[in-house]
Structure 1
Amino acid sequence: MGHRLNPTVALWGSPRRLVLAPRLQELALARTVEGEAREAIAVDKSIDKAVADLGRDIGDYIRQQRGNAQISLRQLAKLAGVSNPYLSQIERGLRRPSAEILQQIAKGLRISAEALYVQAGILEQRDGGALVDAVAADPDLTERQKQVLLDVYESFRRENAARLSTME
């Protein structure tokens, strides 16, 4: 009778190595999983840092707008319907306000909620955002005047963009 060759024994040499081979595979897999886990943790940390930076950015922006409006933290908290400590935590980047809270803060600051949404990363910046907001918020202009101003502005932007593209 002929002996059948066990491919694992042939590859690894001895029966003792036959027992070790699966363990080595487990260790290799564990190292791979550990490496992937470390990479995932690093990505999570960078995401957490980006979120924290975004929180500080919106907080700094709110503090700056509050200073421009010459409103105390206490006054803005009352106008926005939030507590002083909560608003302070937002300004220091410790809390991320919801869109609803941002809207209330914008109302208290008398600025557009869209401006806060852009700063918070909820909305993307649109072209001419600050100008459009200023025109839209001006109580001395009629709706027709606002639309004419925005149309003229947009036509100048298109004209300049076309001129720049022909220069390149």
Structure 2
Amino acid sequence: MTGDDVPEAAVDPVTTVAADLAQDIGGFIRTQRMAAKVSLRQLAERAGVSNPYLSQIERGLRKPSADVLAQIAKGLRVSAEVLYVRAGILEERPASPVRDALLVDTFINERQKQMLLEIYDSFRNENTASQAGTASEPAGTRTSGASAPKSSADEASAAKQSAEKPGAGRPAITDSDPGSSH
């Protein structure tokens, strides 16, 4: 064993993962900055962070907070969600054309995008849960108070039955009616 070798037991997996994420987010920010043809100094100014701090983030020496990532996202004109996922702050969500359209929309700000995404996700989750609930019910039963939509045959049958009843279609007169003549 040389002086450079570190026993496996001494390597902290949490520290290793955190360092990898910091390197990954830093490299991603650098790639995005270069693709946008923005200098380090320009991005630091746009994001409201110091030039040396941004340089350290890009080199993987610092792991930025969610607030700093949001500021950098604004400076790069990308979604903060993309940076959050890269940094390991958020879980990656399944691809969706609605989500993609919201994330690239330049007419709404990051806060509005996040709110719309939360609403959209809650609707999707609600619909997924209700679809799972209806799929497991036996045919012809419902657990909610809503009735099944009637077919035209059902409506015709109901109309025929009410027409056969005496006084059907006319309001019943009771003692409490003001128009009653007693």
TM-score bracket for the superposition, by shorter chain length: 0.5 to 0.7
Partner of 1:55: 22
- Structure 2 CA distance for partners of 1:39 and 1:59, relative to 1, 3 Å: closer
Q: CA deviation at 1:81?
A: 0.3
Question: Which structure 1 segments of 5+ residues have no match?
Answer: 1-37, 141-149, 155-168
Q: CA deviation at 1:138?
A: 2.8
> Runs (4+) of structure 1 moved beyond 6 Å?
none
Tell me the secondary structure at the aligned position of residue 87 of structure 1: helix
Matches within 5 A, 1:149-168: none
Q: CA deviation at 1:41?
A: 3.9
Per-residue CA deviation, residues 24-54 of structure 1 (Å, 9 max, x unaligned), is xxxxxxxxxxxxxx88744x2x221111111
Give the number of equivalent residue pairs: 106
Question: Which structure 2 segments of 5+ residues have no match?
Answer: 1-6, 108-119, 125-182
Equivalent residue letter for 2:26 = G
- Structure 2 CA distance for partners of 1:61 and 1:139, relative to 1, 3 Å: closer
1:112, 1:133 within 8 Å by CA — same for their partners in 2? Answer: no
Matches within 5 A, 1:1-168: 41-42=10-11, 44=12, 46-128=13-95, 131-132=97-98, 134-136=100-102, 137-139=104-106
How does the TM-score come out when normalised to structure 1? 0.55
Instruction: Give the root-mean-square deviation of aligned CA atoms.
Output: 2.9
Alignment partners' CA distance in 2, 1:102 and 1:82: 10
Per-residue CA deviation, residues 142-163 of structure 1 (Å, 9 max, x unaligned), is xxxxxxxx9xxx9xxxxxxxxx
How does the TM-score come out when normalised to structure 2? 0.51
Alignment partners' CA distance in 1, 2:59 and 2:106: 33
Q: CA deviation at 1:56?
A: 0.3
